[in-house]
């Protein structure tokens, strides 16, 4: 039974599961926690397991001298990411693999749901292509392998929009019974509530915009009658029932954490941090580090959905290569375009920009591209295939140039590690060679169905090789030279900290919260210079044991040595060093000479 047979189901499903097993699960726990976000979320979830407090996310860190209550509340994100990671660690033990298991499982679920939606709207083979393209996108692979909110949000929003299309009968969706309507309405609002508990208000705003724009475009009436008709169509969502269900699921946690009245490391309450700073402030651009111009997401999409995003300019057109037209595909096609462009434009208008913000458009892109590849590989799109592949080649050249220029744009005192540059060169080499081979295949080999399939298959194999490099050589580089040095020193301090020795993480900028996951103590995270005013009270409290300090090699050589040697009553012992040269880290113990001032 051929994989490309339109009536074939089982080979496609199992092949898709095998692809996901490789891209999402293979060596899932082989890398230490990534910083910044994963280190924060998993450290908090581990603390939940240890403390039994599943309401307030907390970091095992201290705020100042004298310290406030430790561990410290962390209010930046809603609770779902912590609940899922903590649940897995509670069931299967505390480890990197168990902490990441929920995000890998939901990425698998998203891929299968994309494939199912595509098969319902455009045919089984188009659905299979959509699932493969989504699963083999670099950003999908990266997000599925770290416990952050992005892949979780994609799954919940995908579930929301899937339930909506079934309720409205978009495309070839069969008519629902009364019981089926209530079931899908419950699924819709459950997914909305889960998305709200994953990412906040944007989880309601994005699907709300998509649904209203789509209904407005597909309702024929004009003026006031149009919106009356839209209101009648929205009745299928069971709004009263849904809002009650949403409140029952999402409100209890928000109320419980707000009424505790605790303050985070910066002295902010839950309302001040979560509502004001994280919601209103980020959209208005208060997060200056991530601000970027509106066109930034064009590049992010081409790289994050590489190489398939290079075919978007032709694949997003209504007309298909073979000239065939199925009117039942028009509504799903329009819905996917609204889905894609609503999110793309929304985040382009936002001041803060990160590559992960637009990942909710990836399922829509995969479905549109799966629809197009399903027809284009049969013929009539040779020129479009060659053009898309040439753009992919151009993107890989840009990636390689970016890797070579990255040292020039590194922050002062925070150089790009040599191993990271090496990994970037190897990764871009794989993508460049694969893209050139596929382009050559499409350009010169006889234009037959098999030649087209060979060109696309080369790119699929290229993405497999990219994944293999990322989870083998990439993980080894990160463990050895990037993440490992400071994480190992944080672990090395565990034994002395258990004896009551205070630990200070000094001038760790940007923050490395994964250190907290590997520590069994509550360190002081400080950036003030000089360090002595902080140390003296701690040394008076611990005159015999002294204080442990973990800092960067650069900070140790340039400032800390001179500062401590200039204090007649202090002495410093270098206990451990990890990492290469200026990119390394040190663990020192500072004590009072003669045990007193």
Domain limits, the chain:
485-595
Tell me 512's DSSP state. Answer: -
Residues 422 and 440: their CA atoms lie apart, in Å, by: 27
Contact (Cβ atoms closer than 8 angstroms) between residue 296 and residue 344: no
Q: What is the pLDDT along the chain (597 residues), one digit of tens a residue?
A: 344 444 454 557 889 999 999 999 999 999 999 988 999 999 999 999 999 999 999 999 886 544 444 678 898 899 999 999 999 999 999 999 999 999 999 999 999 999 999 999 998 999 999 999 999 999 999 999 999 999 999 999 999 999 999 999 888 777 888 898 999 999 999 999 999 999 998 889 999 999 999 998 888 777 777 778 888 888 889 999 999 999 999 999 999 999 988 888 878 888 888 888 776 666 555 555 567 788 899 999 999 999 999 999 988 887 776 556 666 788 999 999 999 999 999 999 887 788 899 999 999 999 999 999 988 877 667 788 888 999 999 999 999 998 888 877 766 666 677 777 888 899 999 999 999 999 988 877 666 677 788 888 999 999 999 999 999 999 998 888 889 999 999 999 999 999 989 999 999 888 899 999 999 999 998 888 888 888 888 888 888 889 999 999 989 998 999 998 888 888 999 999 998 777 789 999 999 887 665
The alpha carbon of residue 268 and the mean position of all alpha carbons in its chain are separated, in whole angstroms, by: 26
Q: Which CA distances in Å does 227 have to 235, 499, 539?
A: 13, 69, 70
Three-class SS of 139-173: HHHHHHCCCCHHHHHHHHHHHHHHHHHHHHCCCCC
Q: What is the largest CA-CA distance in the chain?
A: 89
CA angle at 560 for the pair 556 and 563, rounded to the nearest 5°: 160
pLDDT at 3: 44
pLDDT at 322: 59
**212 Cβ contact partners less than 8 Å away, ≥ 6 residues apart:** 230
**460 Cβ contact partners less than 8 Å away, ≥ 6 residues apart:** 132, 136
The 10 Å Cβ neighbour count of residue 409 is 8
Q: Where are the alpha helices (DSSP H) in 414-555?
A: 418-444, 449-469, 475-477, 484-492, 494-498, 514-517, 532-541, 553-555
Residues 412 and 585: their CA atoms lie apart, in Å, by: 17
The 10 Å Cβ neighbour count of residue 125 is 23
R_g over Cα of the chain: 26
**554 Cβ contact partners less than 8 Å away, ≥ 6 residues apart:** 413, 582
CA angle at 181 for the pair 180 and 183, rounded to the nearest 5°: 65
């Amino acid at each position: 039974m051929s994989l490309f047979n339109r009536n074939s189901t089982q080979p496609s499903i199992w092949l898709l599961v095998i692809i996901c097993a490789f891209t999402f699960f293979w060596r899932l726990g082989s890398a230490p926690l990534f910083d910044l976000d994963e280190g924060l979320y998993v450290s908090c979830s581990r603390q939940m397991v240890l403390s039994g407090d599943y309401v307030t996310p907390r970091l095992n860190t201290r705020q100042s001298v004298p310290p406030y209550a430790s561990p410290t509340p962390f209010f930046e994100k809603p609770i779902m990411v912590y609940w899922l990671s903590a649940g897995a660690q509670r069931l299967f033990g505390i480890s990197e693999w168990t902490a990441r298991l929920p995000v890998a499982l939901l990425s698998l679920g998203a891929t299968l749901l994309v494939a199912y939606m595509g098969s319902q709207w455009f045919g089984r083979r188009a659905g299979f292509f959509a699932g493969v393209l989504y699963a083999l996108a670099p950003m999908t692979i990266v997000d599925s392998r770290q416990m952050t909110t992005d892949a979780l949000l994609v799954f919940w929003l995908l579930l929301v929009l899937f339930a909506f299309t079934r309720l409205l009968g978009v495309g070839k969706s069969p008519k629902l019974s009364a019981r089926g309507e209530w079931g899908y309405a419950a699924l819709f609002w459950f997914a909305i509530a889960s998305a709200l508990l994953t990412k906040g208000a944007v989880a309601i705003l994005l699907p709300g915009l998509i649904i209203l724009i789509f209904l407005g475009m597909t309702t024929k009436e004009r003026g006031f009658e149009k919106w009356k008709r839209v209101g009648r169509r929205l009745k299928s969502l069971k709004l009263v029932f849904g809002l009650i269900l949403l409140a029952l699921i999402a409100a209890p946690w928000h109320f419980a954490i707000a009424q505790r009245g605790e303050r985070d490391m910066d002295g902010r309450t839950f309302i001040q941090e979560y509502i004001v700073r994280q919601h209103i402030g980020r959209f208005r651009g208060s997060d200056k580090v991530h601000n970027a111009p509106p066109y930034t997401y064009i590049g992010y999409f081409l790289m994050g959905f590489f190489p398939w995003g290079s075919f978007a300019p032709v694949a997003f057109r209504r007309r298909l290569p073979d000239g065939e037209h199925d009117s039942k595909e028009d509504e799903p096609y329009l819905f996917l375009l609204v889905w894609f462009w609503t999110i793309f434009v929304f985040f382009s208008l936002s001041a803060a920009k990160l590559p992960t913000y637009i990942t909710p458009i990836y399922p829509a892109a995969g479905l549109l591209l799966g629809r197009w590849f399903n027809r284009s590989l049969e013929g009539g799109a040779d020129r479009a295939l060659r053009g898309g592949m040439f753009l992919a080649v151009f993107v890989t050249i840009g990636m390689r140039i970016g890797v070579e220029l990255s040292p020039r744009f590194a922050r002062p005192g925070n150089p790009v590690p040599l191993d990271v540059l090496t990994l970037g060169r190897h990764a871009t080499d794989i993508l460049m060679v694969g893209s050139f081979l596929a382009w050559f295949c499409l350009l010169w080999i006889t234009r037959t169905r098999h030649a087209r399939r060979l060109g696309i298959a080369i790119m699929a194999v290229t993405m497999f090789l990219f994944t293999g490099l990322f989870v083998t050589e990439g993980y080894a580089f990160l463990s050895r030279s990037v993440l490992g040095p400071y994480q190992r020193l944080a672990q090395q301090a565990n034994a002395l900290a258990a004896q009551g020795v205070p630990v200070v993480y000094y001038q760790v900028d940007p923050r490395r919260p994964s250190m907290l996951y590997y520590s069994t103590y509550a360190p002081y995270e400080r950036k003030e210079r000089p360090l002595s005013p902080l140390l003296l009270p701690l040394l008076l409290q611990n005159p015999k044991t002294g204080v442990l300090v973990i800092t960067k090699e650069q900070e140790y050589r340039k400032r800390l040595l001179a500062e401590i040697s200039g204090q007649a009553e202090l002495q410093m012992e270098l206990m451990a060093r990890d990492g290469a040269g200026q990119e390394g880290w040190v663990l020192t113990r500072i004590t009072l000479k003669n045990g007193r001032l």
